[in-house]
Amino acid sequence: MSGEERLPVVYQINGRRLETTVRPGDRLLRVLRGLGEHSVKYGCDTGECGACTVLVDGEPILACLYPAIRADGKAITTVAALGHPDALDPLQAAFLAHGAVQCGYCTPAMLLAARALLARDPAADTAAIRTALAGVLCRCTGYVKPVEAIAAYVASGAEPAAATTPAPPEGRPALRSPAPRPGG
């Protein structure tokens, strides 16, 4: 298979259907950033830092390792789906209120990892929160304030401002690739 060959894919990025083409060896991080999704951070590019975390069909994955072709037909959620400066998601607001954002480079990944946790365990305790954040390297906060922010959000009983697990595009199967899930 030629390295220049391009394969058609259909993504649903934050609820928006998008058709594009990818090379067989492309990883999702570079494809998303090439599509303008710059909230997905480029860190180590080797699966170590977690900064590139996005949700694929609601599950956190490392986009720098995840094959772009494997996301065909799937729903991709970036931090842009949570809220925006004029209408923050309550979890984002909790991060700000608790001083959990310093340089901010890890923050999109932390928020998405937390959202994935809370989708399956809305009453997550501190231990579960720490486990959920363990894959995201933060050089600034020591994790104390992000954990406090998420715990405070859980205690508040607030609801998400936006869905973080949009349905796959119509007419496309949720799973199209038998490949393993590196970084998943």
Task: Give the footprint of ligand FES on residues 72-101 (CB under 6 A).
Answer: 101
**Residue indicated by tokens 């570079």:** 30
Residue 163 binds ligand FES, judged by CB under 6 A: no
Which parts of 27-66 interact with ligand FES (CB under 6 A)?
42-45, 47-52, 62, 64
Overall size of the chain counted in residues: 184
The three-state secondary structure class of 144 is helix
Cβ-contact 61, 26 below 8 angstroms: no
CA torsion sign for 149, 138, 29, 118 is: negative
CA–CA dist 73, 169 (Å, integer): 6
Here's the x/- map for ligand FES, 96-125, by CB under 6 A: it reads as -----xxxxxx-------------------
Q: Which of 12, 92, 141, 164 binds ligand FES (CB under 6 A)?
A: 141
Given the rule CB under 6 A, which of 71-79, 138-146, 153-161, 163-171 is the region that contacts ligand FES? Answer: 138-146
Distance CA 47, CA 67 (A): 13
Closest separation between CB of residue 124 and ligand FES, Å? 20
**Residues of the shown chain interacting with ligand FES in the complex, contacts defined by CB under 6 A:** 42-45, 47-52, 62, 64, 101-106, 138-141
